[in-house]
A and B are shown apart, each in its own frame.
Chain A
Amino acid sequence: MSNIPDIDAKGATRKGRTGFVLTQSGRKVIWAWSFLALPIVFYSWIRFYPTLSAFWISFTDWDLLRPATFVGIANYQKLFADPIFWKVFGNTFAYLIIGTPISLLLSFTIAYFLDRVTFMHSFLRALYFLPFLTTAAAMAWVWRWFYQPIPIGVINGILSNLHIPAQQFLRSPAQALPSIMVTGIWAGLGFQIIIFMAGLRAIPSTYYEAARIDGLGEWAILRKITLPLLKPTTVFLVVFSSIGFLRIFDQVYNMTSNDPGGPLNSTKPLVMMIYQTAFSSFDMGYAAAQTVVLFMILLAVSLGQLFVLRNR
């Protein structure tokens, strides 16, 4: 926050020393900064300041009521010794590692073929985009009822008609996480398809024509032209979707609200553990330590992906 007036002052004095009147570019800089100042001040205040203070709180035992006392790394020691944290940590990565590739593969496949469909193209595209417009909570509740046991669960009803034993879905520690992930993938699909299609459209058709004249097969065209040229789009979606899965909350919370993150913590993501620690147990110091860990994970994953997918 404090560096803004400094920069302003520098710009002005530097110009001021060379001549008494500001140069054209100097005025531009001042204008630009005065416009930028507001969002920067606002952002520093509502984003950067709380982020920094979270780091501080994570070293205290603050519980909202009593004054915080410094406890060193006690919260982090407690966190790393907590089996639930490791369970939740594993869940968070399960959402990421399974969710991101599947959703990207699906959305690319759909976008790739949808791009070639001319019959009712806009209608189909709208249909795929529709889930993205729906409130996550409403969607989660509909899926929650799909997964119910007999007599109300649609999926179990179908299984029963096919003489397949009823499945537990959300009630099973093994099936609950994949069941929720399906809704998460489905919810984000529409957005990813639209972005992929925009990426596909941006590839000049002359490349394809040239390739076809040279006698390249469809598979080779996909591998040599489409995928490499689609890389910026893919990078964006990988990062975007990864962050989305790392922060998954709505679907899990709404689909397991009787036993949040359950059964037996099998679906609980880190974000939900933070929420419960902070706003149910009011253990702000411990929650802040979890937040710092999540921040580090998000940072590491995003940087890692940018590094792997960078332009060589």
Chain B
Amino acid sequence: MRKGFLLASLVAGVSFMALSSAQAVEIEYWQYVFETRVNAMDQLIANFEKANPDITVKQVTFPYADYQTKVIASQAGGNGPDVLQFFYGWLDKFQQGGVLQPLDSAMFPTDAIEADFFPIVSAIKRDGAYYGLPTAVRSLALFYNKKLLDEAGVQPPTTLDELIDVATKTTKTDGGGNITSEGLTMDMAGQDHQWWREVLVRQMGGEPYDADGNVAYDSDAGLKALNFYTDLQTVHKVGLTGFMDEGQAAFKAGLAAMTIDGTFRLGAFRPISDFEWGVVELPANAEGVRSNYASYFANGIGSSATGEKKAAAEKFLAYISSAEAMQVWLDVVGELPARREAALTEANLADPIFAPFLKGLEYAHTTTFVDEAAQRQGAIDMVNRVLLENQDPKASLDQAAAAEQAIIDAAKK
């Protein structure tokens, strides 16, 4: 990391010297360390600098765990980045803290953004202004182990009833009743809390949050969704929270027939050589209602960028959210393009792996998190109270709703 940083500064320094005669503007770009993301960005920066010889972009990266703290601390210290990557769920915190400046609607017209990007982009719009643009988006899908499904003689499920049926037929247990291979992974700390919140609650006829962003899942639909989830372990016995430590680990080891996960998991699953796996859309309910959870990291302009730096930052942002950049990102990182035209190409829609994720984007929802970790914790605890302490599901649901509402209220202050 430090080496990479040194190298990056060296490269930036050398290019700065080379271009200083042309009065180059140097802007700083920040993102967290994730090898493929850093590589993709290096490639994009090289392309951009070739087209704009008067601008140099210096990429600075931090470990994910420190990233938010670094951004916030740099803002407090008054030397923030010109362009930075942020999770859409951090926007409120960053906007209130003055980390980001709204995009200039002359350079980035609102109606063009809304026409060209997937609708989930609206999660980074505040008071009519956009605070950033995503390069790539992520959605969820159901991964299945072809070998285990074939052994059980079943097809990948398309509805929730089929999901339970396939999971039941693919679950293996030992003589003592312990699960030795799961039908469906259960990992609330992974993506299951998103599945519960944005998919199951809606499929049971409810809404996770109302129009004002207040908790609305303390309803019959929320209770049905919670029961559906906990029944997987207690009634159908097709999964066990904590099995193989994490759902994705169980799937990767070939000890789970199905798991719900996101596009970002593709990189981890591609090296699997013991079995073939496939992806299908998240199961629909009996009425055919589908939903999905989509999320993304957006790039925004730091509040300290002014004058020619701001102009350079805008140019750079426009480039990294262009269709060309999205193709690079898809090829290098494997994340789906955020623009419809770049995403819904014939090649992508014919791709058996990308297609289910892309279809999911069309009906996906995004949760407006105010404190993602704390809100996820609330969902984990809600399920644990039912599974580990035999609490009445209704009481657990109400407790979770009250706790999450308190977090939302505290953030609104």
Contact = CB atoms under 8 A, between A and B. Distances in A.
A116 interface: no
B370 to A, nearest CB: 10
B373 A258 contact: no
Contact of A149 (B75, B187, B242): B242
A150 B178 contact: yes
A160 interface: yes
Given A65-B72, A65-B98, A166-B176, A263 B245 contact: no
A41 interface: no
Contacts of B373: 276, 280-281
Contacts of B96: 65-66
Interface stretch (B14-22, B157-165, B222-230, B376-384): B376-384
Contacts of B242: 148-149, 168, 170-171
Contacts of B405: none
A279 B374 contact: no
A65 B75 contact: yes
A152 interface: yes
B149 interface: no
B62 interface: no
B97 A65 contact: yes
Contact of A263 (B98, B243, B388): B388
A172 interface: yes
A160 B180 CA distance: 12
Nearest to A256: B189
B189 A279 contact: no
Interface in B122-180: 174, 176, 178-180
Contact of B243 (A149, A165, A276, A282): A149
A282 B384 CA distance: 26
A200 B246 CA distance: 47
B377 A259 contact: yes
Given A64-B76, A152-B244, A173-B388, A281 B381 contact: no
A151 interface: yes
B83 interface: no
Contact of B73 (A64, A258, A264): A64
A186 B297 CA distance: 42
A173 B391 CA distance: 13
B255 interface: yes
A168 B68 CA distance: 35
A148 B73 CA distance: 38
A265 B381 CA distance: 9
A262 B245 contact: no
Given A64-B73, A149-B240, A258 B246 contact: yes
Interface residues of B, number: 37
A42 interface: no
Nearest to B374: A281
B178 A145 contact: no
B303 to A, nearest CB: 11
A166 B99 CA distance: 50
Nearest to B69: A279
Interface residues of A, number: 32
B241 interface: yes
Interface string A237-264: 0000000000000000000001100111
Contacts of B385: 264
B377 A144 contact: no
A282 B410 CA distance: 12
A148 B179 CA distance: 12
B371 interface: yes
B403 to A, nearest CB: 10
Given A65-B96, A65-B99, A262-B380, A150 B244 contact: no
A183 B381 CA distance: 25
Contact of B381 (A165, A166, A258, A262): A262
Interface string B76-114: 100000000000000001001111000000000000000
B176 A165 contact: yes
B93 A65 contact: yes
A173 B93 CA distance: 33
A170 B374 CA distance: 21
A144 B245 contact: yes
Contacts of B389: 173, 264
Contact of B388 (A150, A166, A264, A276): A264
B312 to A, nearest CB: 25
Interface in B319-375: 371, 373-374
Given A262-B380, A264-B388, A150 B72 contact: no
Interface in B20-45: none
Nearest to A257: B189
B178 A258 contact: no
Contacts of B180: 150-151
A158 to B, nearest CB: 13
Given A144-B245, A160-B174, A166-B178, A282 B380 contact: no
Nearest to B245: A148
A80 B54 CA distance: 58
Nearest to A66: B97
Interface in A13-64: 63-64
Contacts of A156: 178
A264 B189 contact: no
Contacts of A280: 371, 373-374
B381 A151 contact: no
Given A144-B245, A148-B245, A150-B174, A64 B97 contact: yes
B398 to A, nearest CB: 15
Interface of B: 68-69, 72-73, 75-76, 93, 96-99, 174, 176, 178-180, 187, 189-190, 240-246, 255, 371, 373-374, 377, 380-381, 384-385, 388-389
17 contacts: A65-B72, A65-B75, A149-B242, A150-B176, A150-B178, A151-B180, A152-B244, A163-B176, A165-B176, A171-B241, A171-B388, A173-B384, A259-B384, A263-B388, A281-B371, A281-B373, A282-B72
Given A149-B178, A258-B189, A264-B381, 12 more contacts: A64-B97, A65-B76, A65-B98, A66-B97, A149-B240, A150-B174, A163-B176, A166-B176, A265-B381, A280-B373, A280-B374, A282-B68
Interface of A: 63-66, 144-145, 148-152, 156, 160, 163, 165-166, 168, 170-173, 258-259, 262-265, 276, 279-282
3 smallest CB-CB distances across A and B, nearest first, come from A65-B97, A258-B189, A150-B178
